Amino acid sequence: MLKIYNTLSRDKQTFTPIEPNKVRMYVCGMTVYDFCHLGHARVMVVFDMVTRWFRASDYEVTYVRNITDIDDKIIKRANELDEYEGDINKLTNKFIQAMNEDSDKLGIIRPDIEPRATQYIEGMINMISALIEKGHAYHAANGDVFYSVRSFNDYGKLSGKSLDDLRAGERVEVDSFKKDPMDFVLWKSVKPNEPNWDSPWGKGRPGWHIECSVMSAEHLGAHFDIHGGGQDLQFPHHENEIAQSEATHSCQMANYWMHNGFVRVDDEKMSKSLGNFFTIREVLSKYDAEVVRFFILRAHYRSPLNYSDKHLDDAKLALTRLYTALRGYEIIESEIDWHHPQAARFKVAMDDDFNTPEAMAVLFDLANEVNKTKSIEIASLLKNLATVVGLLQREPNAFLQVGVTGYLNITTNSDTASATGEVGYTDANINQMILNRVEAKKSKNFAEADAIRKQLADAGIVLEDTPQGTTWRRA
């Protein structure tokens, strides 16, 4: 029985879908004014994992993740950079493409629906009009439209704080046109060098929060199963979404609210101001994308994720152990027998609020069993369970031997080897050196065999002698 930690109730609850065997899930996506960072990577991987597990559990999933393509930061960036000349579409299209490239490398299955905010302006205007009519919003003298938070009695229920507590504890935008400092903007009146649309309140553009209320209702209905996103969105963004949506539709917005934890860098919150801010692309220039995915899944989605080279190196070694266990086996792809003890343990972990650390522990226990028993059935179960969460998708050697660069100076007396010289560091060269080492050992030239092993080791290539022969992998 699947249980989810519901931020709204602040406890684990048994998941009961609104419609039997169907899941409707909305996740707040990226604001596309720059390359995606590690925090975005975590959101993408976490909710990809959630979607995969629901589908593995025979649920029909509709997964919506929006794209914010109109926003203060987007406008500012487009106006600052000459290459965009204020054209926000040129800017957002570039970074949407980059986001998709990063997502694909991380093994993310694309959401079923990816609505862009600018495609739903009419719906936002209609919702704002409804909120004004119901007394939850007002048109201010400066042309902006604000949501009146004190008109919504349940404001603060997601964060668990009263409105007065929130007002005292949060930074609020000072605006003399607001009736209350906590009121937030729904529609911004037109300003120079900004894109704008016609509305009943004059030309302008939407505020940030209104877009998700409109797009989620458009694709999933006014009442849906799960709303997700990063912990940083819990307040004010998700609190404001609830206020807008429930005031408009007079029903609960989402039954379950899921929030993944922050990404920290060397135990400090990731921040541009601290100089510890990393884009996905920067990380992938140093580490294999599956290592990054594994690193994210190895932690529970609600816990803080502490990024450091040390932790990524450890994740790389751990993933290497799993791939090494699969090396040399013809995997049998088949339906998972969930009654198998290890598969059942994996399922119990995933059904317990997506407990991926325990699920990963099952994979390592299976890898140990494969190493001991040489069982193709156990190797196949390892591979098939990992596939459920988007891991171990490649042939083992495609992981173990990837990312090799540089050059080797090969010196050997073997007739089968090339002369001394600088040789491209390719799979063929490495395999040739392994053959040279085999010939040296046959000739009892152990000094040469050891020298070849050391030469490869110095270049980051680890040789592993097995009864079936010598294999290699990157360190």
448/414 Cα distance (integer angstroms): 10
At residue 374 the predicted structure's pLDDT band, cuts being 50, 70 and 90, is: very high
Looking at residue 474, its pLDDT comes to: 67
Residue 45 predicted with pLDDT over 80: yes
Side-chain-side CA neighbours of 415 within 13 Å: the count stands at: 1
| Measured distance CA(324)–CA(290) in Å, rounded | 15
Q: 303: domain CATH number? A: 1.20.120.640
Examine the domain organization and report whether 99 and 135 are in the same domain: yes
Q: What percent of the chain has pLDDT over 90?
A: 75
Task: Report the C-alpha gap between 356 and 141 in whole angstroms.
Answer: 52
Kindly indicate the confidence band of residue 402, based on its pLDDT and cuts at 50, 70 and 90: confident
Element (H, E) at 424: strand 421-424
User: 3-class SS at 335?
Assistant: coil
Q: What are the structure tokens assigned to 160, written together? A: 């668990």
**What's residue 40's pLDDT?**
96
Taking the C-alpha atoms of residue 52 and residue 107, their distance in angstroms, rounded to an integer, is 12
Does residue 436 register a pLDDT over 50? yes
DSSP 211-228: HHHHHHHHHH-SSEEEEE
The CATH number assigned to the domain holding 95 equals 3.40.50.620
155-158, Cβ contacts within 8 angstroms, sequence gap of 24 or more: 155/239, 155/243, 156/239, 157/8, 157/242, 158/7, 158/8, 158/234, 158/235, 158/238, 158/239, 158/242, 158/257
If asked whether residues 72 and 201 sit together in one domain, one would say yes
User: What is the DSSP annotation of 102-159?
Assistant: HHHHTTPPPPSB--BGGGGHHHHHHHHHHHHHTTSEEE-TTS-EEE-GGG-TTTTTTT
Residue 413 has pLDDT above 80, yes or no: no
Same domain as 294, residue 152 = no
Angle at 292 between CA 291 and CA 296, to 5 degrees: 115
Q: Within this chain, do residues 86 and 166 fall inside the same structural domain, yes or no? A: yes
| Chain mean pLDDT for the chain | 90
Structure token digits, residue 200: 């009943």
Among residues 352, 367, 400, which one ends one of the domains?
A: 400
Same domain membership, residue 184 and residue 38: yes
The last residue of a domain, from among 400, 419, 437? 400
Tally: H helices and E strands in the chain: 16, 17
What is the sign of the dihedral through the CA atoms of 299, 303, 306 and 307? positive
Question: What mean pLDDT is predicted for residues 129-136?
Answer: 98
- Which tokens hold the place of 456? 């490869």
* Same domain? 395 vs 420: no
Identify the CA nearest to 61 among candidates 225, 245, 223, 217.
225
**Residues 80, 148: one domain?**
yes
Dihedrals φ, ψ of 78, to 5°? -65, -35
Angstrom CA distances, 161 to 154, 155, 166, 209, stand at 10, 9, 6, 19
The CB-side HSE value for 47 (13 A sphere, CA atoms) comes to 32
Distance, CA of 303 to CA of 42 (rounded, Å): 11
pLDDT at 414: 36
Residues 330 and 353 in one domain: yes
Domain that holds residue 415: 407-474
Under 8 Å between Cβ of 252 and 246: yes
Domain count, the chain: 3
Same-domain pairing of 49 and 159: yes
Is pLDDT of 284 > 90? yes
Q: Which pTM does this prediction carry?
A: 0.85
- Is 11 in the same domain as 106? yes
pLDDT computed for residue 75 by the predictor: 96
Phi/psi of residue 125, nearest 5 degrees = -60, -40
Kindly state whether residues 312 and 221 are assigned to the same domain.
Answer: no
Per-residue pLDDT, 425: 53
Q: Give yes or no: residues 249 and 272 share one domain.
A: no
> Where would I find the H helices in 269-308?
280-284, 289-298
Encode pLDDT of 11-23 as tens digits.
999 999 999 999 9
Give yes or no for a contact between 432 and 424, defined as CB atoms under 8 angstroms apart.
Answer: no
**Domain termination residue (choose one: 400, 431, 456):** 400
Number of C-beta neighbours around residue 333 at 10 A: 8
